[in-house]
């Protein structure tokens, strides 16, 4: 044999991934290693569609650890979809405060009402009917179909995409390969146990085929994994070049009246943090964006136009920083005092005792502003 060929290392080969064996291996692994989660039915138990749906909505863009206490709180307060439908929207928004992506809370409430009004208080078991409900997209509809009703559905979330990208060594970034990964996942679906299979894939992605360094030595699919065989598992899925997040800025106004109460207000129902309680603030503008012509600053630098009352505003040292999915926000905090709670007669909002500000269901960014102001004013 020529020398050149003798030195050439033979690449390891993965056996092609076939639906039957891969699903059986994964289900056997799941039977031994499944995660115990508060919203998950135990083996032999019948899943409750309400609990499955509630957890799936909460888990969107949110970690299992963050969701746990909220899930328990919601379930205690509203144990059925009917109870949630009867709740006041404000109470639901308040209970959701801190979990982020507040549009979900509105849609959660709207969905509960639609289930009661249009489906007699029972979630439909059909994927298309689920998708027609408020706040239920393709992923959630598939997850509820498979997990709550045990029906065939291709449940593809970020974890599953990562597992598929590695199993089939798909080198394109996720943003460009979603359809292909979904098709790979569809090919691997088993003939039964659809709910267990969906949760097994989720568990594999969350505990073994993790981002960064996958723990291939624990993986039931190792023998079929092309990325493992080629030694490129940790490099997949390929990352798309990240764009820098735009920066927005604003000023928040911490206004205190003669009784030591703080002014808060409710944001408009639509848009980011829609319907949530906030510390009054100027519009959030991107750096370099033109300011309105009428915007003037008093000698402390606070913007007069958007301040909730005419008073002497003092700018606190330092700023508050918060990161949203699509932009970062830097907030300066101006502090002012007024003698009367009706100064000027035009104050919009409601007054809250200083010590009770954090009990008002503030979203995280507003809690940071409140803490900054409270720390500065002692």
If the CB atoms of residues 117 and 235 are measured against ligand SF4, the closer one turns out to be: 235
Name residues whose C-beta falls within 8 Å of residue 301's C-beta, 6 or more positions apart in sequence: 313, 315, 332, 334
Return the residue of 57, 59, 185, 227 that touches ligand SF4, per CB under 6 A: 227
Cis status of the peptide bond prior to 237, with omega within 30 of 0:
yes
331: which strand partners?
A: 250, 320
Shortest separation between residue 232's beta carbon and ligand SF4, angstroms: 9
Whether 239 and 248 have beta carbons less than 8 Å apart is answered as no
Q: Write each residue from 152 to 171 as x if it is in contact with ligand SF4 (CB under 6 A), else as -, in one continuous string.
A: -----------x--xx----
If the CB atoms of residues 203 and 303 are measured against ligand SF4, the closer one turns out to be: 203
**Encoded tokens for 289:** 């964006």
R_g of the chain computed on alpha carbons: 26
If the CB atoms of residues 27 and 315 are measured against ligand SF4, the closer one turns out to be: 27
- DSSP characters for 88-140? -HHHHHHHHTTSS-THHHHHHHHHHHHHHHHHTTS--SSHHHHHTSTT--HHH
Return the residue of 214, 237, 336, 363 that touches ligand SF4, per CB under 6 A: 214
If the CB atoms of residues 29 and 96 are measured against ligand SF4, the closer one turns out to be: 29
Contact between 228 and ligand SF4 per CB under 6 A: yes
Please identify which of the residues 56, 127, 161, 278 carries the catalytic annotation.
56
Query: Does 56 participate in catalysis according to the annotation?
Result: yes
Q: Write each residue from 172 to 211 as x if it is in contact with ligand SF4 (CB under 6 A), else as -, in one continuous string.
A: ------------------------------------xx--
Return the residue of 89, 180, 206, 216 that touches ligand SF4, per CB under 6 A: 216
Query: Residue 282, by phi and psi: left (phi above 0), alpha (psi -120 to 50) or beta?
Result: beta
Return the residue of 92, 170, 219, 307 that touches ligand SF4, per CB under 6 A: 219
If the CB atoms of residues 108 and 167 are measured against ligand SF4, the closer one turns out to be: 167
Residue linked to tokens 């996720």: 174
């Amino acid at each position: 044999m020529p020398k050149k060929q003798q030195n050439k290392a033979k690449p390891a080969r993965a056996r092609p991934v076939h639906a039957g064996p891969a699903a059986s291996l994964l289900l056997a692994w799941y039977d031994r290693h499944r995660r115990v989660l508060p919203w998950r039915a135990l083996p032999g138990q019948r899943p409750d569609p309400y609990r499955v749906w509630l957890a799936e909505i909460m888990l969107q863009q949110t970690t299992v650890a963050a969701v746990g206490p909220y899930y328990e709180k919601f379930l205690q307060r509203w144990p059925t979809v009917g109870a949630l439908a009867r709740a006041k929207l404000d109470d639901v928004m308040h209970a959701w405060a801190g979990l982020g992506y507040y549009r979900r809370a509105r849609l959660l409430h709207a969905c509960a009402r639609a289930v009661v009004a249009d489906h007699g208080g029972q979630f439909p078991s059909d994927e298309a009917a689920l998708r027609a409900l408020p706040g239920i997209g393709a992923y959630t509809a598939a997850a509820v179909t498979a997990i709550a009703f045990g029906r065939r559905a291709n449940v593809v979330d970020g974890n599953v995409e990562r597992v598929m990208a590695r199993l089939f060594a798909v080198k394109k970034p996720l943003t460009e390969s979603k359809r292909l990964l979904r098709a790979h996942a569809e090919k691997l679906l088993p003939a039964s146990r659809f709910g267990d299979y969906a949760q097994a894939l989720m568990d594999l992605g969350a505990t073994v085929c993790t981002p960064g360094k996958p723990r291939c030595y624990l993986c039931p699919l190792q023998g079929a994994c092309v990325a493992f065989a080629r030694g490129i598992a940790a490099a997949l899925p390929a990352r798309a070049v990240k764009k820098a997040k735009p920066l927005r800025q604003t000023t928040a106004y911490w206004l205190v009246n003669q009784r030591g109460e703080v002014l808060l207000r409710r944001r408009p129902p639509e848009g980011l943090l829609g319907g949530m309680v906030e510390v009054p603030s100027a519009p959030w503008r991107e750096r370099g964006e033109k300011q309105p012509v009428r915007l003037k600053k008093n000698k402390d630098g606070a913007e007069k136009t958007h301040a909730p009352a005419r008073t002497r505003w003092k700018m606190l040292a330092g700023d508050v920083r918060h990161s949203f999915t699509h932009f970062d926000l830097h907030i300066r905090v101006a502090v002012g005092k007024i003698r009367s709670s009706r100064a000027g007669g035009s104050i919009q909002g409601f007054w809250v005792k200083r010590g009770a500000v954090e009990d008002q269901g503030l979203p995280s960014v507003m809690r940071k502003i409140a803490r900054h102001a409270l720390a500065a004013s002692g």
